[in-house]
Structure 1
Amino acid sequence: MSVLILALLCGAVVGLALGALGGGGGVLAVPALVYLLGVAPADAGTTSLVIVTATSATALARHAGTGNIRWRTGALFAAAGVAPAIGASVLAHRTPQDVLTAAFAVLAALAAAAMLRGTRTAHRTRQVAASATAAARATAPGTAVGTVVSPAGRSGRGVVTAARAATRRDDGTTVAAGGSAATRACGRPTSGEGHLRTAAAGACLGAVTGLLGVGGGFLAVPALVSVLRLPMRKAVGTSLVVILINSVVSLTTRLAAGGASLDPAVFGPFVGAAILGAWDGKRLASKFSGVVLQRAFAALLLAMAAFMLIDVFV
Protein backbone atom coordinates (compact mmCIF):
# COMPACT_ATOMS: atom_id res chain seq x y z
CA MET A 1 0.00 0.00 0.00
CA SER A 2 1.38 3.39 -1.00
CA VAL A 3 2.29 6.00 1.59
CA LEU A 4 -0.36 8.37 0.20
CA ILE A 5 -3.23 5.91 0.58
CA LEU A 6 -2.06 4.79 4.02
CA ALA A 7 -1.75 8.41 5.19
CA LEU A 8 -5.27 9.16 3.92
CA LEU A 9 -6.73 6.11 5.65
CA CYS A 10 -4.97 6.82 8.97
CA GLY A 11 -5.95 10.48 8.85
CA ALA A 12 -9.59 9.59 8.14
CA VAL A 13 -9.73 7.22 11.14
CA VAL A 14 -8.21 9.87 13.42
CA GLY A 15 -10.69 12.45 12.12
CA LEU A 16 -13.63 10.11 12.69
CA ALA A 17 -12.51 9.59 16.27
CA LEU A 18 -12.25 13.34 16.78
CA GLY A 19 -15.65 14.00 15.28
CA ALA A 20 -17.43 11.16 17.10
CA LEU A 21 -15.86 11.61 20.53
CA GLY A 22 -14.83 15.26 20.56
CA GLY A 23 -11.23 14.35 21.42
CA GLY A 24 -8.65 11.61 21.37
CA GLY A 25 -7.30 12.39 17.91
CA GLY A 26 -3.77 13.08 19.07
CA VAL A 27 -3.66 9.87 21.07
CA LEU A 28 -4.45 7.92 17.88
CA ALA A 29 -2.46 10.07 15.47
CA VAL A 30 0.97 9.62 17.04
CA PRO A 31 0.98 5.77 17.06
CA ALA A 32 -0.46 5.69 13.52
CA LEU A 33 2.30 7.98 12.28
CA VAL A 34 5.03 6.08 14.12
CA TYR A 35 4.07 2.45 13.49
CA LEU A 36 2.23 2.61 10.17
CA LEU A 37 3.95 5.48 8.40
CA GLY A 38 7.46 5.22 9.89
CA VAL A 39 7.60 8.75 11.34
CA ALA A 40 9.90 9.41 14.32
CA PRO A 41 7.99 9.91 17.61
CA ALA A 42 9.06 13.56 17.98
CA ASP A 43 8.06 14.41 14.40
CA ALA A 44 4.81 12.49 14.84
CA GLY A 45 4.04 14.71 17.83
CA THR A 46 4.55 17.80 15.67
CA THR A 47 2.15 16.52 13.01
CA SER A 48 -0.33 15.63 15.74
CA LEU A 49 -0.15 19.18 17.08
CA VAL A 50 -1.18 20.52 13.68
CA ILE A 51 -4.24 18.25 13.75
CA VAL A 52 -5.10 19.21 17.32
CA THR A 53 -4.70 22.93 16.56
CA ALA A 54 -6.90 22.81 13.45
CA THR A 55 -9.65 20.70 14.98
CA SER A 56 -9.76 22.56 18.31
CA ALA A 57 -9.98 25.90 16.50
CA THR A 58 -12.88 24.56 14.43
CA ALA A 59 -14.65 23.18 17.49
CA LEU A 60 -14.06 26.42 19.40
CA ALA A 61 -15.69 28.43 16.61
CA ARG A 62 -18.67 26.07 16.74
CA HIS A 63 -19.01 26.52 20.53
CA ALA A 64 -18.40 30.28 20.54
CA GLY A 65 -22.06 31.27 20.33
CA THR A 66 -23.40 28.74 22.84
CA GLY A 67 -22.44 30.56 26.02
CA ASN A 68 -20.54 27.48 27.23
CA ILE A 69 -17.08 29.05 27.06
CA ARG A 70 -15.52 30.98 29.92
CA TRP A 71 -12.81 32.74 27.96
CA ARG A 72 -11.01 34.36 30.89
CA THR A 73 -10.96 31.12 32.89
CA GLY A 74 -9.62 29.18 29.92
CA ALA A 75 -6.95 31.78 29.20
CA LEU A 76 -5.78 31.85 32.82
CA PHE A 77 -5.76 28.06 33.03
CA ALA A 78 -3.74 27.83 29.81
CA ALA A 79 -1.33 30.57 30.95
CA ALA A 80 -0.04 28.26 33.66
CA GLY A 81 0.87 25.74 30.98
CA VAL A 82 2.67 28.05 28.54
CA ALA A 83 6.14 27.80 30.09
CA PRO A 84 5.95 23.99 30.61
CA ALA A 85 4.65 23.61 27.04
CA ILE A 86 7.60 25.57 25.66
CA GLY A 87 10.14 23.65 27.75
CA ALA A 88 8.61 20.27 26.94
CA SER A 89 8.44 21.11 23.21
CA VAL A 90 12.17 21.84 23.15
CA LEU A 91 12.85 18.71 25.19
CA ALA A 92 10.81 16.48 22.87
CA HIS A 93 13.50 16.36 20.18
CA ARG A 94 16.22 15.68 22.76
CA THR A 95 14.45 12.80 24.48
CA PRO A 96 15.26 9.21 23.42
CA GLN A 97 12.55 7.72 21.21
CA ASP A 98 11.98 4.77 23.54
CA VAL A 99 11.31 7.14 26.43
CA LEU A 100 8.80 9.11 24.37
CA THR A 101 7.10 5.90 23.24
CA ALA A 102 6.84 4.54 26.79
CA ALA A 103 5.50 7.86 28.09
CA PHE A 104 2.94 7.94 25.32
CA ALA A 105 1.84 4.38 26.09
CA VAL A 106 1.23 5.33 29.72
CA LEU A 107 -0.74 8.39 28.60
CA ALA A 108 -2.88 6.25 26.27
CA ALA A 109 -3.64 3.85 29.13
CA LEU A 110 -4.65 6.78 31.37
CA ALA A 111 -6.90 8.13 28.63
CA ALA A 112 -8.57 4.73 28.27
CA ALA A 113 -9.10 4.49 32.03
CA ALA A 114 -10.64 7.97 32.08
CA MET A 115 -13.03 7.04 29.27
CA LEU A 116 -14.09 3.79 30.92
CA ARG A 117 -14.68 5.65 34.17
CA GLY A 118 -16.80 8.16 32.28
CA THR A 119 -18.97 5.42 30.77
CA ARG A 120 -19.56 3.91 34.23
CA THR A 121 -20.58 7.33 35.55
CA ALA A 122 -22.95 7.77 32.64
CA HIS A 123 -24.45 4.33 33.29
CA ARG A 124 -25.05 5.16 36.97
CA THR A 125 -26.61 8.48 35.96
CA ARG A 126 -29.07 6.74 33.65
CA GLN A 127 -29.97 4.27 36.41
CA VAL A 128 -30.65 7.15 38.82
CA ALA A 129 -32.74 8.93 36.18
CA ALA A 130 -34.72 5.74 35.49
CA SER A 131 -35.35 5.20 39.20
CA ALA A 132 -36.39 8.82 39.57
CA THR A 133 -38.81 8.47 36.66
CA ALA A 134 -40.37 5.35 38.13
CA ALA A 135 -40.70 6.97 41.55
CA ALA A 136 -42.25 10.10 40.07
CA ARG A 137 -44.82 8.11 38.13
CA ALA A 138 -45.69 6.00 41.15
CA THR A 139 -45.97 9.03 43.44
CA ALA A 140 -47.61 11.60 41.22
CA PRO A 141 -48.74 10.38 37.79
CA GLY A 142 -49.01 13.90 36.46
CA THR A 143 -45.46 14.90 37.43
CA ALA A 144 -42.93 15.57 34.66
CA VAL A 145 -40.76 12.60 33.70
CA GLY A 146 -37.24 12.61 35.18
CA THR A 147 -38.02 14.33 38.47
CA VAL A 148 -38.57 13.26 42.04
CA VAL A 149 -40.98 15.40 44.00
CA SER A 150 -40.69 16.27 47.66
CA PRO A 151 -43.68 15.95 49.99
CA ALA A 152 -44.38 19.61 49.31
CA GLY A 153 -44.40 18.78 45.61
CA ARG A 154 -47.27 16.32 46.04
CA SER A 155 -49.48 19.25 46.95
CA GLY A 156 -48.92 20.66 43.50
CA ARG A 157 -45.65 22.58 43.71
CA GLY A 158 -43.60 19.92 41.90
CA VAL A 159 -40.25 20.63 43.60
CA VAL A 160 -37.31 18.72 42.10
CA THR A 161 -35.19 17.14 44.84
CA ALA A 162 -32.89 14.10 44.81
CA ALA A 163 -32.57 13.41 41.10
CA ARG A 164 -31.97 15.94 38.38
CA ALA A 165 -32.38 15.69 34.66
CA ALA A 166 -29.35 14.32 32.85
CA THR A 167 -27.58 16.49 30.34
CA ARG A 168 -25.71 15.24 27.31
CA ARG A 169 -22.03 16.01 26.93
CA ASP A 170 -20.47 16.85 23.57
CA ASP A 171 -18.89 13.40 23.41
CA GLY A 172 -22.26 11.67 23.78
CA THR A 173 -22.10 10.66 27.42
CA THR A 174 -24.48 11.95 30.07
CA VAL A 175 -23.87 13.58 33.41
CA ALA A 176 -26.15 14.89 36.13
CA ALA A 177 -27.12 18.44 35.41
CA GLY A 178 -26.57 19.53 38.98
CA GLY A 179 -23.03 18.13 39.14
CA SER A 180 -21.77 15.74 41.80
CA ALA A 181 -22.89 15.97 45.39
CA ALA A 182 -19.35 16.77 46.46
CA THR A 183 -19.15 19.61 43.96
CA ARG A 184 -22.44 21.13 45.09
CA ALA A 185 -21.56 20.77 48.77
CA CYS A 186 -18.02 22.08 48.57
CA GLY A 187 -18.56 24.87 46.05
CA ARG A 188 -15.45 26.60 44.79
CA PRO A 189 -12.12 25.93 46.50
CA THR A 190 -10.59 28.60 48.67
CA SER A 191 -8.68 31.22 46.71
CA GLY A 192 -5.15 30.16 47.73
CA GLU A 193 -5.77 26.46 47.32
CA GLY A 194 -7.75 27.04 44.12
CA HIS A 195 -5.00 29.12 42.48
CA LEU A 196 -2.35 26.57 43.40
CA ARG A 197 -4.34 23.61 42.09
CA THR A 198 -5.26 25.49 38.93
CA ALA A 199 -1.62 26.38 38.25
CA ALA A 200 -0.51 22.78 38.86
CA ALA A 201 -3.19 21.33 36.58
CA GLY A 202 -2.48 23.88 33.85
CA ALA A 203 1.27 23.27 34.04
CA CYS A 204 0.80 19.51 33.82
CA LEU A 205 -1.45 19.79 30.78
CA GLY A 206 0.96 22.17 29.04
CA ALA A 207 3.89 19.82 29.63
CA VAL A 208 1.94 16.83 28.24
CA THR A 209 0.91 18.77 25.15
CA GLY A 210 4.43 20.03 24.51
CA LEU A 211 6.21 16.72 25.06
CA LEU A 212 3.83 14.24 23.45
CA GLY A 213 1.89 16.33 20.95
CA VAL A 214 -1.62 15.61 22.24
CA GLY A 215 -4.35 18.07 23.14
CA GLY A 216 -5.13 16.42 26.45
CA GLY A 217 -8.86 17.10 26.47
CA PHE A 218 -9.39 14.03 28.63
CA LEU A 219 -7.16 15.72 31.22
CA ALA A 220 -8.41 19.29 30.78
CA VAL A 221 -12.13 18.62 31.23
CA PRO A 222 -11.83 16.72 34.55
CA ALA A 223 -9.40 19.37 35.83
CA LEU A 224 -11.80 22.20 35.00
CA VAL A 225 -14.66 20.34 36.67
CA SER A 226 -12.83 19.24 39.81
CA VAL A 227 -10.48 22.19 40.34
CA LEU A 228 -12.54 25.14 39.10
CA ARG A 229 -15.98 23.58 39.71
CA LEU A 230 -17.23 24.38 36.21
CA PRO A 231 -20.42 22.67 35.02
CA MET A 232 -19.69 19.93 32.51
CA ARG A 233 -20.91 21.78 29.42
CA LYS A 234 -18.86 24.87 30.30
CA ALA A 235 -15.83 22.69 31.10
CA VAL A 236 -16.01 21.07 27.65
CA GLY A 237 -16.28 24.44 25.90
CA THR A 238 -13.61 26.10 28.05
CA SER A 239 -11.21 23.17 27.58
CA LEU A 240 -11.08 24.02 23.87
CA VAL A 241 -9.54 27.39 24.76
CA VAL A 242 -6.91 25.64 26.89
CA ILE A 243 -6.16 23.01 24.25
CA LEU A 244 -5.88 25.56 21.44
CA ILE A 245 -3.49 27.84 23.35
CA ASN A 246 -1.27 24.97 24.50
CA SER A 247 -1.21 23.43 21.02
CA VAL A 248 -0.32 26.70 19.29
CA VAL A 249 2.45 27.42 21.81
CA SER A 250 3.88 23.90 21.52
CA LEU A 251 3.69 23.80 17.73
CA THR A 252 5.25 27.25 17.35
CA THR A 253 8.09 26.30 19.70
CA ARG A 254 8.83 23.08 17.84
CA LEU A 255 8.89 24.81 14.47
CA ALA A 256 10.99 27.72 15.78
CA ALA A 257 13.49 25.33 17.37
CA GLY A 258 14.13 23.86 13.94
CA GLY A 259 14.02 20.26 15.16
CA ALA A 260 10.76 19.38 13.45
CA SER A 261 10.89 17.46 10.19
CA LEU A 262 7.56 17.15 8.38
CA ASP A 263 7.35 14.89 5.31
CA PRO A 264 4.88 16.57 2.90
CA ALA A 265 3.94 13.17 1.42
CA VAL A 266 2.68 12.09 4.84
CA PHE A 267 1.82 15.38 6.52
CA GLY A 268 -0.53 16.86 3.90
CA PRO A 269 -2.76 13.83 3.21
CA PHE A 270 -2.89 12.83 6.88
CA VAL A 271 -3.92 16.25 8.18
CA GLY A 272 -6.36 16.89 5.33
CA ALA A 273 -8.10 13.53 5.77
CA ALA A 274 -8.26 14.03 9.54
CA ILE A 275 -10.00 17.40 9.21
CA LEU A 276 -12.51 16.05 6.68
CA GLY A 277 -13.07 12.91 8.75
CA ALA A 278 -13.89 15.01 11.80
CA TRP A 279 -17.01 16.30 10.05
CA ASP A 280 -18.18 12.79 9.15
CA GLY A 281 -17.53 11.71 12.72
CA LYS A 282 -20.57 13.71 13.80
CA ARG A 283 -22.76 11.42 11.67
CA LEU A 284 -21.09 8.38 13.21
CA ALA A 285 -21.84 9.70 16.67
CA SER A 286 -25.52 10.02 15.79
CA LYS A 287 -25.76 6.32 14.86
CA PHE A 288 -24.15 4.89 18.00
CA SER A 289 -24.45 5.78 21.66
CA GLY A 290 -21.63 7.74 23.23
CA VAL A 291 -21.01 4.94 25.73
CA VAL A 292 -20.53 2.35 22.98
CA LEU A 293 -18.12 4.59 21.08
CA GLN A 294 -16.14 5.44 24.19
CA ARG A 295 -15.80 1.82 25.28
CA ALA A 296 -14.64 0.76 21.81
CA PHE A 297 -12.13 3.63 21.72
CA ALA A 298 -10.90 2.81 25.23
CA ALA A 299 -10.35 -0.83 24.26
CA LEU A 300 -8.37 0.31 21.21
CA LEU A 301 -6.23 2.61 23.38
CA LEU A 302 -5.49 -0.15 25.89
CA ALA A 303 -4.44 -2.54 23.12
CA MET A 304 -2.30 0.16 21.56
CA ALA A 305 -0.65 1.02 24.90
CA ALA A 306 0.17 -2.64 25.52
CA PHE A 307 1.68 -2.98 22.03
CA MET A 308 3.84 0.13 22.49
CA LEU A 309 5.14 -1.00 25.87
CA ILE A 310 5.97 -4.45 24.48
CA ASP A 311 7.77 -2.80 21.59
CA VAL A 312 9.88 -0.73 24.00
CA PHE A 313 10.74 -3.32 26.66
CA VAL A 314 10.73 -6.66 24.83
Structure 2
Amino acid sequence: MSELILALLAGGTVGITLGALGAGGGIIAVPALVYLLGFTPAEATTASLLIVSVTSLTALYAHARTGAVQWRGGLLLAAAGVLPAAIAGVLAARVPAALLTAAFGLVAGLAGLRMLRPAPPATAPATATAVQPVKAVSAGAGLGALTGLLGVGGGFLAVPALTGVLAFRIRAAVATSLLVVSVNALVALAARGGTATGVDWAVVGPFAAAAVLGAWDGKRLGAKLPDAVLHRVFAGVLLAVAVLMLVDAAR
Protein backbone atom coordinates (compact mmCIF):
# COMPACT_ATOMS: atom_id res chain seq x y z
CA MET A 1 0.00 0.00 0.00
CA SER A 2 1.44 3.39 -0.95
CA GLU A 3 2.61 5.89 1.63
CA LEU A 4 -0.03 8.42 0.54
CA ILE A 5 -2.91 5.97 1.00
CA LEU A 6 -1.61 4.96 4.43
CA ALA A 7 -1.33 8.62 5.43
CA LEU A 8 -4.90 9.31 4.29
CA LEU A 9 -6.33 6.28 6.10
CA ALA A 10 -4.46 7.02 9.31
CA GLY A 11 -5.41 10.70 9.13
CA GLY A 12 -9.07 9.87 8.68
CA THR A 13 -8.96 7.59 11.72
CA VAL A 14 -7.32 10.31 13.83
CA GLY A 15 -9.91 12.88 12.77
CA ILE A 16 -12.90 10.62 13.43
CA THR A 17 -11.54 9.71 16.86
CA LEU A 18 -10.91 13.32 17.86
CA GLY A 19 -14.27 14.47 16.55
CA ALA A 20 -16.23 11.69 18.27
CA LEU A 21 -14.38 11.40 21.58
CA GLY A 22 -12.53 14.69 21.96
CA ALA A 23 -9.46 12.50 22.48
CA GLY A 24 -7.15 9.96 20.93
CA GLY A 25 -5.69 11.93 18.03
CA GLY A 26 -2.07 11.93 19.10
CA ILE A 27 -2.15 8.52 20.67
CA ILE A 28 -3.17 7.07 17.31
CA ALA A 29 -1.13 9.44 15.14
CA VAL A 30 2.23 8.70 16.77
CA PRO A 31 2.22 4.91 16.32
CA ALA A 32 0.76 5.31 12.81
CA LEU A 33 3.61 7.65 11.86
CA VAL A 34 6.21 5.33 13.40
CA TYR A 35 5.01 1.90 12.29
CA LEU A 36 3.16 2.68 9.06
CA LEU A 37 5.09 5.64 7.69
CA GLY A 38 8.63 5.09 8.98
CA PHE A 39 9.06 8.16 11.20
CA THR A 40 11.42 8.07 14.18
CA PRO A 41 9.72 8.56 17.60
CA ALA A 42 11.05 12.13 17.82
CA GLU A 43 9.88 12.98 14.29
CA ALA A 44 6.51 11.32 14.94
CA THR A 45 5.81 13.28 18.13
CA THR A 46 6.55 16.60 16.39
CA ALA A 47 4.46 15.69 13.34
CA SER A 48 1.69 14.49 15.64
CA LEU A 49 1.55 17.88 17.35
CA LEU A 50 1.08 19.55 13.96
CA ILE A 51 -1.68 17.14 13.01
CA VAL A 52 -3.41 17.23 16.39
CA SER A 53 -3.31 21.04 16.51
CA VAL A 54 -5.11 21.61 13.22
CA THR A 55 -7.52 18.70 13.70
CA SER A 56 -8.51 19.56 17.27
CA LEU A 57 -9.14 23.18 16.31
CA THR A 58 -11.43 21.98 13.52
CA ALA A 59 -13.29 19.63 15.85
CA LEU A 60 -13.50 22.36 18.51
CA TYR A 61 -15.17 24.68 16.00
CA ALA A 62 -17.66 21.97 15.08
CA HIS A 63 -18.63 21.37 18.71
CA ALA A 64 -18.64 25.09 19.58
CA ARG A 65 -21.28 25.69 16.93
CA THR A 66 -23.66 23.52 18.96
CA GLY A 67 -22.85 25.33 22.23
CA ALA A 68 -21.38 22.21 23.84
CA VAL A 69 -18.01 23.76 24.81
CA GLN A 70 -17.73 24.91 28.44
CA TRP A 71 -15.15 27.65 27.91
CA ARG A 72 -14.51 28.58 31.53
CA GLY A 73 -13.53 25.12 32.77
CA GLY A 74 -11.63 24.31 29.59
CA LEU A 75 -9.58 27.49 29.74
CA LEU A 76 -8.64 26.78 33.37
CA LEU A 77 -7.18 23.38 32.48
CA ALA A 78 -5.57 24.74 29.32
CA ALA A 79 -3.92 27.69 31.08
CA ALA A 80 -2.51 25.42 33.79
CA GLY A 81 -0.86 23.25 31.13
CA VAL A 82 0.88 26.00 29.13
CA LEU A 83 4.18 26.14 31.07
CA PRO A 84 4.51 22.35 31.61
CA ALA A 85 3.79 21.76 27.91
CA ALA A 86 6.49 24.24 26.89
CA ILE A 87 9.11 22.77 29.24
CA ALA A 88 8.35 19.18 28.28
CA GLY A 89 8.39 20.12 24.60
CA VAL A 90 11.95 21.38 24.94
CA LEU A 91 13.08 18.32 26.91
CA ALA A 92 11.48 15.83 24.51
CA ALA A 93 14.34 16.09 22.01
CA ARG A 94 16.78 14.84 24.67
CA VAL A 95 14.83 11.70 25.59
CA PRO A 96 16.18 8.42 24.08
CA ALA A 97 13.91 6.91 21.43
CA ALA A 98 13.42 3.64 23.34
CA LEU A 99 12.40 5.47 26.50
CA LEU A 100 9.99 7.69 24.55
CA THR A 101 8.43 4.61 22.94
CA ALA A 102 8.08 2.83 26.30
CA ALA A 103 6.58 5.91 27.96
CA PHE A 104 4.06 6.27 25.16
CA GLY A 105 3.11 2.59 25.39
CA LEU A 106 2.63 2.85 29.15
CA VAL A 107 0.44 5.95 28.85
CA ALA A 108 -1.64 4.32 26.10
CA GLY A 109 -2.17 1.21 28.25
CA LEU A 110 -3.22 3.19 31.31
CA ALA A 111 -5.57 5.31 29.20
CA GLY A 112 -7.13 2.19 27.68
CA LEU A 113 -7.72 0.63 31.08
CA ARG A 114 -9.15 3.91 32.36
CA MET A 115 -11.64 4.07 29.48
CA LEU A 116 -12.86 0.54 30.23
CA ARG A 117 -13.97 1.62 33.71
CA PRO A 118 -17.67 2.46 34.08
CA ALA A 119 -18.38 6.14 33.58
CA PRO A 120 -19.46 8.14 36.66
CA PRO A 121 -23.08 9.25 36.87
CA ALA A 122 -23.72 12.35 34.79
CA THR A 123 -24.23 15.61 36.63
CA ALA A 124 -24.86 19.12 35.47
CA PRO A 125 -21.86 21.07 34.22
CA ALA A 126 -20.20 23.14 36.89
CA THR A 127 -18.15 26.29 36.57
CA ALA A 128 -14.41 25.86 36.96
CA THR A 129 -14.17 28.36 39.80
CA ALA A 130 -16.82 26.58 41.87
CA VAL A 131 -15.38 23.07 41.86
CA GLN A 132 -11.98 22.13 43.34
CA PRO A 133 -9.82 24.60 41.37
CA VAL A 134 -6.59 23.20 42.88
CA LYS A 135 -7.34 19.75 41.47
CA ALA A 136 -8.34 21.28 38.15
CA VAL A 137 -5.05 23.19 37.90
CA SER A 138 -3.08 20.06 38.87
CA ALA A 139 -4.85 18.04 36.19
CA GLY A 140 -4.21 20.74 33.61
CA ALA A 141 -0.50 20.87 34.44
CA GLY A 142 -0.18 17.11 34.07
CA LEU A 143 -1.97 17.17 30.73
CA GLY A 144 0.33 19.90 29.48
CA ALA A 145 3.48 17.99 30.45
CA LEU A 146 2.19 14.85 28.77
CA THR A 147 1.46 16.75 25.57
CA GLY A 148 4.88 18.36 25.41
CA LEU A 149 6.78 15.15 26.02
CA LEU A 150 4.85 12.58 24.01
CA GLY A 151 3.25 14.63 21.25
CA VAL A 152 -0.30 13.76 22.29
CA GLY A 153 -3.05 16.24 22.96
CA GLY A 154 -3.99 14.72 26.32
CA GLY A 155 -7.69 14.52 25.50
CA PHE A 156 -7.94 10.91 26.66
CA LEU A 157 -7.07 12.21 30.14
CA ALA A 158 -8.81 15.58 29.79
CA VAL A 159 -12.24 13.97 29.37
CA PRO A 160 -12.00 12.02 32.68
CA ALA A 161 -10.62 15.15 34.37
CA LEU A 162 -13.53 17.26 33.17
CA THR A 163 -16.14 14.70 34.21
CA GLY A 164 -14.52 13.80 37.53
CA VAL A 165 -12.98 17.09 38.71
CA LEU A 166 -15.29 19.67 37.16
CA ALA A 167 -18.45 17.50 37.09
CA PHE A 168 -19.17 17.99 33.38
CA ARG A 169 -21.57 15.80 31.47
CA ILE A 170 -19.77 13.48 29.06
CA ARG A 171 -20.88 15.38 25.94
CA ALA A 172 -19.68 18.69 27.37
CA ALA A 173 -16.43 17.05 28.48
CA VAL A 174 -15.78 15.68 24.97
CA ALA A 175 -16.34 19.11 23.42
CA THR A 176 -14.38 21.03 26.06
CA SER A 177 -11.42 18.64 25.99
CA LEU A 178 -10.77 19.80 22.43
CA LEU A 179 -10.03 23.28 23.79
CA VAL A 180 -7.46 21.82 26.19
CA VAL A 181 -5.97 19.64 23.45
CA SER A 182 -5.67 22.57 21.04
CA VAL A 183 -3.90 24.86 23.49
CA ASN A 184 -1.53 22.17 24.79
CA ALA A 185 -0.59 20.97 21.31
CA LEU A 186 0.07 24.49 20.00
CA VAL A 187 2.23 25.41 23.01
CA ALA A 188 4.24 22.18 22.84
CA LEU A 189 4.75 22.64 19.10
CA ALA A 190 5.95 26.21 19.59
CA ALA A 191 8.37 25.03 22.29
CA ARG A 192 9.96 22.59 19.84
CA GLY A 193 10.65 25.48 17.49
CA GLY A 194 13.13 24.52 14.81
CA THR A 195 12.48 20.79 15.15
CA ALA A 196 9.40 21.22 12.96
CA THR A 197 11.54 22.30 10.00
CA GLY A 198 12.40 18.69 9.15
CA VAL A 199 8.78 17.53 8.89
CA ASP A 200 8.00 15.48 5.77
CA TRP A 201 5.12 17.58 4.45
CA ALA A 202 4.47 15.14 1.60
CA VAL A 203 3.20 12.74 4.28
CA VAL A 204 2.06 15.07 7.07
CA GLY A 205 0.05 17.34 4.72
CA PRO A 206 -2.29 14.60 3.40
CA PHE A 207 -2.42 13.05 6.88
CA ALA A 208 -3.58 16.35 8.42
CA ALA A 209 -6.05 17.06 5.60
CA ALA A 210 -7.69 13.67 6.01
CA ALA A 211 -7.81 14.20 9.77
CA VAL A 212 -9.58 17.54 9.40
CA LEU A 213 -12.23 16.02 7.15
CA GLY A 214 -12.59 13.05 9.48
CA ALA A 215 -13.15 15.35 12.47
CA TRP A 216 -16.47 16.54 11.01
CA ASP A 217 -17.62 12.96 10.44
CA GLY A 218 -16.45 12.01 13.93
CA LYS A 219 -18.48 14.79 15.48
CA ARG A 220 -21.63 13.49 13.74
CA LEU A 221 -20.79 9.88 14.63
CA GLY A 222 -20.26 10.74 18.28
CA ALA A 223 -23.69 12.33 18.44
CA LYS A 224 -25.36 9.13 17.22
CA LEU A 225 -23.55 6.29 19.03
CA PRO A 226 -23.81 5.49 22.74
CA ASP A 227 -20.88 6.70 24.83
CA ALA A 228 -20.21 3.20 26.13
CA VAL A 229 -19.74 1.80 22.62
CA LEU A 230 -17.34 4.56 21.60
CA HIS A 231 -15.29 4.18 24.77
CA ARG A 232 -14.96 0.41 24.49
CA VAL A 233 -13.83 0.52 20.87
CA PHE A 234 -11.30 3.22 21.61
CA ALA A 235 -10.06 1.42 24.73
CA GLY A 236 -9.38 -1.67 22.62
CA VAL A 237 -7.35 0.38 20.15
CA LEU A 238 -5.35 1.98 22.96
CA LEU A 239 -4.51 -1.37 24.57
CA ALA A 240 -3.40 -2.81 21.23
CA VAL A 241 -1.16 0.21 20.63
CA ALA A 242 0.26 -0.09 24.14
CA VAL A 243 1.26 -3.73 23.65
CA LEU A 244 2.84 -3.00 20.27
CA MET A 245 4.94 -0.09 21.52
CA LEU A 246 6.02 -1.75 24.79
CA VAL A 247 7.18 -4.83 22.89
CA ASP A 248 9.07 -2.62 20.45
CA ALA A 249 10.73 -0.66 23.28
CA ALA A 250 11.84 -3.91 24.96
CA ARG A 251 13.76 -5.12 21.88
Matched, 1:296 2:236: no
Q: Which residue of 1 aligns with 2:210?
A: 273
Query: C-alpha separation between the residues in 2 aligned to 1:34 and 1:93?
Result: 16
Query: C-alpha separation between the residues in 1 aligned to 2:219 and 2:137?
Result: 33
Question: Which deviations, in whole Å up to 9, do the C-alpha atoms of 1:200-254 show, x marking residues without a partner?
Answer: 1111000011111111112112222332334444433332222211111111222
Equivalences for 1:197-236 in 2 at 5 Å? 197-236=135-174
**More off after superposition, 15-24 vs 89-98:** 15-24
Matched, 1:249 2:194: no
Matched, 1:178 2:127: no
By how many angstroms is 1:176 displaced? 4.2
Over 3 Å counting, the alpha-carbon distance change for 1:199 and 1:18 in structure 2 is: closer
Structural RMSD (CA): 2.4
Over 3 Å counting, the alpha-carbon distance change for 1:43 and 1:67 in structure 2 is: same
By how many angstroms is 1:16 displaced? 3.0
Over 3 Å counting, the alpha-carbon distance change for 1:15 and 1:116 in structure 2 is: same
Equivalences for 1:101-180 in 2 at 5 Å? 101-117=101-117, 120-121=118-119, 176-178=121-123
Deviation >6 Å, runs of 4+: none
Equivalences for 1:57-96 in 2 at 5 Å? 57-96=57-96
Contact in 1 for aligned 2:49/2:151 (Cα 8 Å): yes
Contact in 2 for aligned 1:16/1:278 (Cα 8 Å): yes
Q: Which residue of 1 aligns with 2:195?
A: 259
Contact in 2 for aligned 1:216/1:243 (Cα 8 Å): yes
1:202 counterpart letter in structure 2: G
Determine which structure has more spread, i.e. the larger CA radius of gyration. 1
Over 3 Å counting, the alpha-carbon distance change for 1:233 and 1:277 in structure 2 is: closer
Aligned residues: 246
Contact in 2 for aligned 1:14/1:274 (Cα 8 Å): yes
By how many angstroms is 1:282 displaced? 4.7
Query: C-alpha separation between the residues in 2 aligned to 1:293 and 1:275?
Result: 19
Over 3 Å counting, the alpha-carbon distance change for 1:285 and 1:43 in structure 2 is: same
Query: C-alpha separation between the residues in 2 aligned to 1:293 and 1:305?
Result: 18
Query: C-alpha separation between the residues in 2 aligned to 1:300 and 1:57?
Result: 23
Over 3 Å counting, the alpha-carbon distance change for 1:13 and 1:77 in structure 2 is: closer
Q: Which residue of 2 aligns with 1:21?
A: 21
Q: Which runs of 5+ in 1 are unaligned?
A: 122-174
Over 3 Å counting, the alpha-carbon distance change for 1:292 and 1:70 in structure 2 is: closer
What secondary structure sits across from 1:69 in the alignment?
A: coil
**More off after superposition, 245-254 vs 222-231:** 222-231
Contact in 2 for aligned 1:114/1:218 (Cα 8 Å): no
What secondary structure sits across from 1:259 in the alignment?
A: helix
Report sequence identity in percent. Answer: 58
1:111 counterpart letter in structure 2: A
By how many angstroms is 1:91 displaced? 0.9
1:215 counterpart letter in structure 2: G
What secondary structure sits across from 1:51 in the alignment?
A: helix
